[in-house]
Amino acid sequence: MMNLVWLGLILAGVAVAAATGRAAEVTDAAFAGGKLAIETAIGLAGLMALWMGIMKIAERSGLMEGLAMLLRPVVRWLFPTVPRDHPAVGAMLMNISANMLGLGSAATPFGLKAMQELQELNPDKETASEAMCTFLALNTASITLVPGTIIALRATYGSVNPAEIVVATLIASVVAGIFSIGLDWAVRTALRARGR
11-30 residues in contact with other proteins (CB under 8 A) are: 12-17, 20, 22, 25-26, 28-30
Q: Which of the stretches 68-76, 77-85, 86-94, 138-146 binds other proteins when contact is defined by CB under 8 A?
A: 138-146
Q: Does 189 bind other proteins (CB under 8 A)?
A: no
Q: Are 97 and 138 in contact (CB under 8 A)?
A: no
Q: Which of the stretches 75-83, 85-93, 136-144 binds other proteins when contact is defined by CB under 8 A?
A: 136-144
Q: Which of the stretches 32-40, 68-76, 78-86 binds other proteins when contact is defined by CB under 8 A?
A: 32-40
Binding residues for other proteins, rule CB under 8 A, total: 101
- Looking at this protein, which amino acid is placed at residue 56? K
Q: How far apart are the C-alpha atoms of 109 and 94, rounded to whole Å?
A: 10
Pick the closest to residue 67 from 12, 117, 34, 107 (CA basis): 107
Considering only residues 57 to 96 of the shown chain, the ones binding other proteins according to CB under 8 A are 57-63
DSSP 152-194: HHHHHTT-SSGGGGHHHHHHHHHHHHHHHHHHHHHHHHHHHHT
Q: How far apart are the C-alpha atoms of 25 and 28, rounded to whole Å?
A: 5
Q: Does 34 bind other proteins (CB under 8 A)?
A: yes
Which long-range contacts link 111-114 to residues 24+ away (Cβ below 8 Å)? 111/139, 114/88
Nearer to other proteins, 71 or 153 (CB): 153
Lay out the site mask for other proteins across 167-186 (x = CB under 8 A, - = otherwise). xxx-xxx-xxx-xx--xx--
The one among 64, 91, 96, 132 contacting other proteins by CB under 8 A: 132
Q: Does 121 bind other proteins (CB under 8 A)?
A: no
Measured torsion, CA atoms of residues 140, 143, 149, 150, in degrees rounded to the nearest 10: 100
The one among 76, 86, 87, 136 contacting other proteins by CB under 8 A: 136
